[in-house]
């Protein structure tokens, strides 16, 4: 009779295996049995036309638990806790709190590991003249005529004092729109439609071993473009008052209470706020790495007196911070770049390819090098990144098509280049600049000799047809790029 007991055990094992490996079929069989018994004892509901309605059935899978945990391990534990609530009902709240805490800790550990892996690729820099403190000031909406070192002394005295020991570039080109100018500055490349804008200048400084800081009062960079900075300080400006309403530091936000009361004497400007925060970072949060700090300020006022006051305020705050850092660093070599971008609301007019619309300020100061005072040869914003790469002797330079301006500053100029710009609203109109000549091609061709005619009032195309023809050879058949 032993075979009877063995048969029962074997049958039980088969039933258990079927329940484990084919649960859906097992559940379906049970459901069919339930439906059959229900059909025998009950009348199925019908519509007026006699059509039998499906009786809704619910199972334990109709409302599955959706976990908000960030990691697979803690997500699985959270799901187990939810599906076995009866077992853990006396301690479910405490267990879930512990799982949430473990999830946060695990996410933090993963973030630290990713950060450590990125830092492992950063260049190690030895203090010295090849690792200077670098400051770049980008003034959006400020023209050359509004800065003292472009022939209007007294407007920006502190920056003028640095310019006297640095190099002023008389013909630095940005592009016919603010978007093109931003692209050229950040990527070190000419602009063409369809090219993605990546923050290669910050990427280069970060990978070159610098502590990269962004102090931003314009807020046009995307979160993706900001990720290359170790510290990111930005002010959100109220459009009505023109005062900063909120300060953000590495994602954490703080309301500027002084600008929300009725006492105008408590108001703090964007420049005061941002320069004060950067001073705090530089002086009270030291780092073993050399510092690259990038300032972005916008001057959007239309009233000339208001603009003059805002630019003078920027000059005072930036100049004082620079000199304070120079003293704090005990004479360590320093580099300062002052440049600009067109106004964000610059109208597209017939003169969009004029010198006044295309050119922006550019001044570079080096504390431990002799600098040529002025450079007449044209350059562009795309040259800023390769110039910084030369100054800091970086071995992590991204691809670009600009050139280093350091040879010009050292008194060793290279060959002349040809620049080309396309009108964003009319691609059949374009301008060419090479050496002292500039031509504008379109409905009517124009030629200007800029040393004698910087305002482009005297068209000499008829007097110099060979020059116009030589410049036209690089025009319409080339890609629609700006560089």
* Residue 435 backbone class (left: φ over 0; alpha: ψ -120 to 50; beta: rest): left
Joined tokens for residue 350:
């017939």
CA distance 408 to 365: 13
Residues 392-419 have a mean pLDDT of 87
Q: Where do the DSSP E strands lie in 240-368?
A: 244-249, 252-255, 291-298, 334-341, 359-360, 362-366
Vertex 477 angle, CA 476 and 479, to 5°: 90
How far, CA to CA in Å, does 44 sit from each of 36, 39, 41, 54, 267? 11, 7, 10, 8, 76
Query: Would you say residue 477 has pLDDT above 70?
Result: no
The SS3 call for residue 171 is coil
Under DSSP, the state recorded for 258 is G
Strand pairing class (231-237; 244-249): antiparallel
Query: Would you say residue 42 has pLDDT above 60?
Result: no
More confident residue, 392 or 43: 392
Least confident of 9-18, 358-367, 413-422, 442-451: 9-18
Tell me the whole-structure pTM to 2 decimals: 0.73
More confident residue, 307 or 260: 307
Dihedral sign, CA of 385, 391, 397, 399?
positive
Beta bridge partner(s), residue 140: 298, 341
How many Cα neighbours within 13 Å face the side chain of 460? Answer: 14
Report residue 8's pLDDT band, with 50, 70 and 90 as the boundaries.
Answer: low
Joined tokens for residue 481:
């790029």
Q: Give the pLDDT score at 336.
A: 93
Q: pLDDT (tens digit, 9 = 90+) per residue, 297-334?
A: 999 888 999 999 999 999 998 888 887 777 666 556 88
Structural contact between residues 149 and 363, judged by C-beta atoms closer than 8 angstroms: yes
Joined tokens for residue 58:
């619910």
């Amino acid at each position: 009779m032993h075979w009877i007991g063995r048969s029962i055990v074997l049958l039980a094992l088969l039933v258990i295996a079927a329940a484990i490996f084919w649960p859906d079929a097992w559940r379906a069989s049970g459901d069919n049995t339930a439906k059959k018994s229900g059909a025998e004892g009950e009348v199925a509901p019908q519509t007026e036309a006699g059509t039998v309605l499906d009786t809704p059935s619910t199972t334990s899978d109709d409302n599955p638990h959706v976990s908000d945990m960030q990691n697979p391990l803690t997500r699985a534990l959270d799901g187990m806790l939810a599906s076995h609530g009866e077992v853990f009902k006396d301690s479910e709240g405490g267990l879930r709190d512990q799982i949430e805490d473990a999830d946060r800790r695990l996410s933090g550990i993963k973030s630290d590991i990713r950060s450590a892996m990125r830092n492992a690729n950063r260049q190690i820099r030895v203090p010295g003249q090849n690792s200077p403190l670098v400051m770049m000031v980008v003034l959006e909406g400020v023209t050359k005529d509004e800065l003292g070192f472009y022939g209007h002394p007294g407007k920006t005295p502190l920056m003028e004092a640095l310019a006297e020991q640095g190099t002023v570039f008389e013909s630095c080109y940005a592009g016919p729109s603010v978007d093109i100018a931003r692209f050229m500055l950040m990527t070190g490349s000419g602009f063409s439609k369809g090219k993605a804008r990546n923050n290669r200048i910050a990427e280069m400084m970060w990978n070159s071993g610098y502590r990269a800081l962004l102090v931003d009062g314009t807020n046009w960079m995307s979160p993706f473009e900001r990720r290359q900075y170790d510290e990111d300080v930005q002010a959100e400006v109220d459009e009505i008052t023109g005062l900063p309403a909120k300060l953000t530091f590495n994602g954490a936000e703080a309301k500027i209470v002084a600008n929300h009361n009725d006492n105008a004497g408590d108001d703090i400007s964007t420049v005061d706020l941002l320069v004060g925060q950067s001073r705090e970072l530089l002086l009270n949060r030291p780092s073993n790495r050399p510092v690259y700090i990038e300032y972005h300020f916008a001057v959007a006022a239309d009233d000339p007196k208001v603009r003059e006051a805002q630019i003078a305020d920027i000059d005072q705050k930036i100049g004082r911070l620079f000199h304070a850092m120079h003293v704090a660093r005990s004479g360590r070599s320093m580099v300062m770049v002052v440049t600009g971008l067109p106004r964000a609301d610059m109208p597209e007019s017939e003169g969009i390819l004029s010198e006044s619309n295309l050119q922006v300020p550019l001044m570079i100061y080096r504390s431990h090098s002799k600098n040529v005072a002025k450079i007449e040869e044209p350059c562009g914003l795309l040259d800023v990144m390769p110039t910084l790469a030369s100054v800091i002797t970086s071995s992590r330079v991204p691809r670009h098509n600009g050139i280093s301006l350091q040879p010009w500053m050292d008194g060793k100029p290279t060959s002349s280049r040809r620049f080309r710009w396309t009108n964003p609203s009319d691609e059949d109109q374009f301008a060419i600049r090479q050496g002292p000549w500039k031509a504008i091609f379109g409905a009517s061709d124009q030629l200007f000799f800029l040393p004698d005619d910087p305002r482009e009032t005297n068209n000499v195309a008829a007097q110099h047809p060979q020059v116009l023809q030589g410049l036209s050879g690089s025009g319409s058949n080339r890609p629609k790029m700006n560089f």
